[in-house]
Structure 1
Amino acid sequence: MPDKVHLHQDEEKPFLSALQANAQAVKSVAQAVAPTLGPKGLDTMLVNSKNEVVVTNDGVTILDRMAINHPAAKMIVNVAKAQQAEVGDGTTTATLLASALVDEGLKQVLRGVPVTKVITGIQRGTRFALIKMQERARMIYEMDDEWLQRIAFTASRENEDITLAVMEAAHLMGREKLLEKGFKLSSCVVAHPRIESKVFAGIVVSKPRMNSQMPRIRQNARVLVLADALEPEAFSDDVRTDEAFSRKERLREEFYVMLEHLIHLNVGLIVTEGAVDPHAEEVLADAGVIVAAEVAKEELNKVSEYTGARQIKRSGLKKSPEEIEALLGLCAEVVDDEALSRIRISGGQGIPFATILVGAATDEVVEERERICKDAASAVQAAIHGGFVPGGGAVELAIARDVEHFRNTVQGMERFGVSAVSEALQRPMSQVVANAGFNPLEKIEAVKALQLKRQSDSLGIDCDRGIVADMIEMGVVDPLPVKAHALKTAGEVAVAILRIHTIVQMKEDPVF
């Protein structure tokens, strides 16, 4: 019998070695962003081989630019990227929760709990926690709800100018647009050094006018949006015959006629997805038409929506002038902003849009202000979608208590995996308290006791005074989608890491 136990332990050694190595790699990554969490979080300086510097406390920026080689660590980076792509904020919380779940899962495995039971328990515990989090959400139904401004203020690192700009832009866009699937308020942020920070009722195209001979400003401009190149139709030069030459000339003549139609229709702005024929550029410049070429598809869509223009292909220019006229959009003003090196469009007849212009003294500072502004915009939009919960780690601590009660209803060894979720949910507040310079163990026990006594989910630690305080009363709240997605994603990647039994180096691809 002893021999069999010894054999079992030997079989487990490769797995435990892999799991411990993965857990350590994950912890190292989390430690890089942990000091940035909370109101007292500090910045991280990133330096590359050219001594170029980025100073930030944005979790996804730190993780994305860190030199990371370990495969499990890269999985954690993907957690942050997924969090950023989905809700635009909460990347540090997602990273800490993922690391905590792996760490607590490892502890249970080292106690002798089968890893499959730990995994199942984590999955059950995470699902239960997400349900409880949803139940605790406070919904927002009106754009003038004061909690929106509090959420923006917290997400903007208490930058009042950014908070006001984000709120103004949100009101200009309207609730219906903010709830629209696929639209991101953060995409309205445009940053540039040495410009005045303000909200612009309109859109910005990230291209200047093609030619300095084109007018810088056009009033009451008709807008053509071309999801194509503004060039004559392509024709193969492979066959050099008189017939081929004649056809090529005919296509060019047709193209010139199309240009004349556009000029006669008094088109003031042409935005194209592709390139522009040099002759067309010259003709349009002479006619006083502003042209922005090779514009990204996303921006092309924005111009269409804002001005009311319908996108057309090059073949659509063959339509009659009357038919083309019906496809044109309209705006009050087009300006080639030389400070931005971009075109600004205002007074569109389509769907209202707003642009948040963010400025600063240097490139390094403006880059960080852009990230902060995008976080605030994402947080406001997330709160409109799903409401908010108490911040500062308070709601996670309250849910940890719920999960612990749920653990008592779970049969078998899966309950140890549920315990891992309960322990991991305490990590955000623990880190916030530590970053504020207080003893996490002492403060968390005080909060736990008072939360239980008052049956509250909003009690946390005032990071200025180190006392238990109501986060709702202090205005410290977070959007539910940010918190929920962080927990969901963290649970998924933690399970994926715990499932890894062995790490095997792949052979290199043959070099020919």
Structure 2
Amino acid sequence: MSLKQQAVQATEVDEKLAALMTNANAIRAIAAAVEGTLGPKGLDTMLVDKFGDVVITNDGVTILTLMEANHPAARLLINVAKAQQAEIGDGTTTATVMAGALVAEGVNQVVRGVPVTRVIEGIRIGVRGALEFIEQQARPVRSLKDPLLYRIAYIAGRENEDIARLVVDAARLVGIKKLKEPGFKLADTIVAEEGADNQVFSGVIINKEPMNDEMPRDLRDAKVLIIDDALEPEELEDEALATEAGFNRYMELQQEFKDNVRKIVDLGVGLVIVDRGVEAWAEETLTDAGVMVLQRVSNKELRKAAEHTGARPIKRTGLKRSPEELVRYLGQAKWVLADERLEHVRILGGAGKPMATVLVGAATEEVVGERERIAKDAASSVQAAVCGGVVAGGGSLELAAARQVEKLRENTRGMAAYGIDCVVAALKRPLAQIVENAGFNSLEKLGDVVAAQAEKGNNALAIDCDSGQVVDMWELGVVDPALVKLHALRAAGEVAEAILRIDTIIRKKEEKSSKLEPEMEE
């Protein structure tokens, strides 16, 4: 081969590597933004927008969501982290850190001359082996009285004892059956408010106040009507109102509406929850009858109230039904209380499904958001533990999985073995980062743990971040939900494979509008 051909070939290789290196650097930058928050000694991150508003947090998904990231590879990683949060509710930082390590090590192997396809093949083998190992190590949670649940909540809740207790109490209130329902999320029961007292109760909160001060603030054994619509007369088109027949129809609708409102009063309804607005005459009539009315309630809160009280949401046209039929749409609550200080209404002791609400108090408005994020992480982790079991934490399990994956290398032929090395490096990263954040030498402590696990045959050994000693994570009470670990590793593998497969970056042309511009008149 001539020198000229060699130069051309080298240039082509450099261009392909340039795309890979660019993407890898973007992934590394994202991982670097959150890795300092990992572990019990992790620090906070301050995010500042152009207006000077500040958010201080060490919640991985919050950092990733709020940070400015324009690079396509960075956005890919952020989207995967968001998916992890939506699916499990925790583990985004671990997933991001491992993805960063996988990509970085993968790039190193490619630069050394290992074909990308072989690296990806090895990553798949390694990730699959690690997932199988983690699943085998999981211990099931058979009772909500298991003390490990509190430890799960305590660790995921960043060592906030009050939040851990609230979340575990809420889990016990709803029960294992409810926690295992696919559509239920314990994190949705979390409400954080400035000045509130920490508490858990069987009921739901509606973040609205009664429509006016003359409405009752305290109802007992109240019938509940939920209108998934506006409490207003049916509307007619302006064109129809211009005719005599249209005007007569308008007057009929007005009378029909008033009859429907009187029906609500005659049925003895105590609480009316409305999705949209309430007409002035209806407000006045219901106020005079001692009915509490909440308007413009969010759909999410509307559904919670319906589920808890046993009410069946109805449209305004449904109010035409006979009183005997309307009774079947009513729910029941033992106590409805409007809290003027916190500006919300509590519905307690509903006749429908049991619902728990975790009210988390915060001293100032600035702390409310962070307290809510912490509590939601704790709730998600407790639910994940109930559904998928628990494993030793502190990075111990990932390190044990790395030792297991290393054995796969012995039976893997060809260059795919180098891809397995990438998975081994990524699995060691969580423990190394936790130790580093605790102020210890990560290389030294990593070596200590590897030797101790192999010598004692104990996969739960890791570093006590206070003393720096090798200890059993089960005995220390450092445990994590197995599902969080599994999803984090799976997400990291998907990101790494997607990034490594890209060898060319091309800017898309701008799409033209499908509509033709109108021709100019001469």
- Aligned pair 1:59/2:57, yes or no? no
Deviates more, 1:253-262 or 1:425-434: 253-262
SS where residue 238 of structure 1 aligns? helix
Alpha-carbon distance in structure 2 between the residues aligned to 1:2 and 1:445: 48
* Structure 2 unaligned spans of 5+: 518-522
- Determine the structure 2 residue equivalent to 1:444: 446
1:408 offset after TM fit, Å? 2.0
- Aligned pair 1:414/2:416, yes or no? yes
| Matching residue within 255, 261, 264 for 2:263 | 261
- Determine the structure 2 residue equivalent to 1:45: 46
1:296 offset after TM fit, Å? 2.2
Alpha-carbon distance in structure 2 between the residues aligned to 1:505 and 1:118: 27
**What is the Cα-based RMSD across aligned positions, in Å?**
1.5
Alpha-carbon distance in structure 2 between the residues aligned to 1:468 and 1:116: 38
Alpha-carbon distance in structure 2 between the residues aligned to 1:207 and 1:85: 27
SS where residue 465 of structure 1 aligns? coil
SS where residue 347 of structure 1 aligns? strand
Alpha-carbon distance in structure 2 between the residues aligned to 1:48 and 1:148: 37
- Determine the structure 1 residue equivalent to 2:26: 25
- Aligned pair 1:283/2:285, yes or no? yes
- Aligned pair 1:174/2:170, yes or no? no
Query: What amino acid is the match of 1:315?
Result: T
Query: What amino acid is the match of 2:365?
Result: D
1:389 offset after TM fit, Å? 0.8
* Structure 1 unaligned spans of 5+: none
- Determine the structure 2 residue equivalent to 1:162: 163
| Matching residue within 458, 465, 470 for 1:468 | 470
Query: What amino acid is the match of 2:391?
Result: V
Query: What amino acid is the match of 2:139?
Result: R
- Determine the structure 1 residue equivalent to 2:153: 152
- Determine the structure 2 residue equivalent to 1:117: 118
Query: What amino acid is the match of 1:100?
Result: A
Alpha-carbon distance in structure 2 between the residues aligned to 1:290 and 1:9: 77
Give the alignment's TM-score, normalised by structure 2. 0.95
Alpha-carbon distance in structure 1 between the residues aligned to 2:35 and 2:120: 25
SS where residue 358 of structure 2 aligns? strand
1:465 offset after TM fit, Å? 1.0
Task: Tell me the alpha carbon deviations over residues 414-450 of structure 1, each in whole angstroms, 9 at most, x when there is no partner.
Answer: 2221221111110000000000111111111111111
1:274 offset after TM fit, Å? 2.4
SS where residue 238 of structure 2 aligns? coil
| Percent identity over paired residues | 53
SS where residue 194 of structure 2 aligns? coil
Alpha-carbon distance in structure 1 between the residues aligned to 2:494 and 2:344: 42
- Determine the structure 1 residue equivalent to 2:298: 296
How do 1:204-219 and structure 2 match up within 5 A?
A: 204-219=205-220
SS where residue 138 of structure 1 aligns? coil
1:509 offset after TM fit, Å? 5.3
- Determine the structure 1 residue equivalent to 2:494: 492
Query: What amino acid is the match of 1:122?
Result: I
- Determine the structure 1 residue equivalent to 2:339: 337
Describe the shift of the 1:111–1:253 C-alpha distance in structure 2 as closer, same or farther (beyond 3 A).
same
Task: Tell me the alpha carbon deviations over residues 130-189 of structure 1, each in whole angstroms, 9 at most, x when there is no partner.
Answer: 111111101101110111011111111111111111111111111111111111111111
Alpha-carbon distance in structure 1 between the residues aligned to 2:478 and 2:190: 24
Alpha-carbon distance in structure 2 between the residues aligned to 1:410 and 1:231: 71
Alpha-carbon distance in structure 2 between the residues aligned to 1:249 and 1:97: 68
Give the alignment's TM-score, normalised by structure 1. 0.97
1:404 offset after TM fit, Å? 1.1
Task: Tell me the alpha carbon deviations over residues 18-39 of structure 1, each in whole angstroms, 9 at most, x when there is no partner.
Answer: 1111111111111111111101
SS where residue 80 of structure 1 aligns? helix
1:510 offset after TM fit, Å? 5.8
SS where residue 359 of structure 1 aligns? strand
- Determine the structure 2 residue equivalent to 1:362: 364
- Determine the structure 2 residue equivalent to 1:100: 101
- Determine the structure 2 residue equivalent to 1:129: 130
Alpha-carbon distance in structure 2 between the residues aligned to 1:510 and 1:436: 54
- Determine the structure 2 residue equivalent to 1:233: 234
1:5 offset after TM fit, Å? 5.2
1:508 offset after TM fit, Å? 4.4
- Determine the structure 2 residue equivalent to 1:186: 187
Alpha-carbon distance in structure 2 between the residues aligned to 1:487 and 1:498: 16
Alpha-carbon distance in structure 1 between the residues aligned to 2:67 and 2:438: 25
Alpha-carbon distance in structure 1 between the residues aligned to 2:127 and 2:211: 53
- Aligned pair 1:423/2:422, yes or no? no
- Determine the structure 1 residue equivalent to 2:398: 396
Deviates more, 1:206-215 or 1:352-361: 206-215
Alpha-carbon distance in structure 2 between the residues aligned to 1:90 and 1:298: 25
Query: What amino acid is the match of 2:231?
Result: L
Alpha-carbon distance in structure 2 between the residues aligned to 1:484 and 1:5: 45
1:227 offset after TM fit, Å? 1.8
1:210 offset after TM fit, Å? 2.2
Describe the shift of the 1:449–1:5 C-alpha distance in structure 2 as closer, same or farther (beyond 3 A).
farther
Alpha-carbon distance in structure 2 between the residues aligned to 1:128 and 1:488: 11
- Determine the structure 2 residue equivalent to 1:271: 273
